[in-house]
Structure 1
């Protein structure tokens, strides 16, 4: 089932164009993100089929900052624009602009879309509030390194790595990601 991500920069503040850089980083870091493209000005849109990749891309975009993110879940007849998934994404993007977390999900199954939005919003808050030292530990351990190996790389104790992971709510993120994936699948119908 397809998912459409619609992303816009907050407000109309002048400044450097960040969309090109975001697209390059997504293409480098997220396997299915090359389907993401600039649609107009500081907006981008992507059609993805794997809900786990949707979660990865959403959290990556949240970490990039200053974006409103709409996720549409539902049918996409022959990949055509204007299908239900695109309409859900557009409505989600409009709703995201009114929310503190700047993230919304709309889908074919409303209760599951609302639940997916709640879980993704919680994950977004975790990502937004994570400190640079916590990100260092998360990056290493998330890539499969042990805490002892991460500690050696960072020049700190294994306990300090554990403290950074705890402060960065790494365990909570790992627990919530599969829930977000399941809810996105259900929201698509």
Structure 2
């Protein structure tokens, strides 16, 4: 099993957990859990594979990815009530999923021979789009749009670090590992310590003479 396959399975499973937890907050039935978990789990990777013109979308080539998402959904369906704070659990699981999905997207784009800009964008899209779809469908405020929080910026930084490591020492799994570590640390720091980017603040126009 290659590193990219491992990353895909991990991101599918963890993102599916977050999707199922959001479904529990919406009080959906089991089929709703399965749908939201699967949408969250494979949404980002599907967009990535379609845009880079991959020969076959990853979960169509291997339906076990959908099976993995369904296992996560069923697990949460029977255990979500045990969590005291599901919103907090979603945030931390999503941080872990982001840290796995971004290097997965980076790795796929690199293996297909794309340039730096496309590699960075594919890493960000793989990490962000599944959660974005989940939140929009379930009428939640998307994590990627929370004011000033490090989310897309964490994915962006992680993808850049992967490129820097690859440029410095050549093709190596260390590039994807560094991407995962940086992405998680920035996202976790944003949640734990309130790290934020500056946000736009509206100002009244100056009076003209």
If the length of structure 1 is used for normalisation, what is the TM-score? 0.38
If the length of structure 2 is used for normalisation, what is the TM-score? 0.36
More strand by share: 1
More helix by share: 2
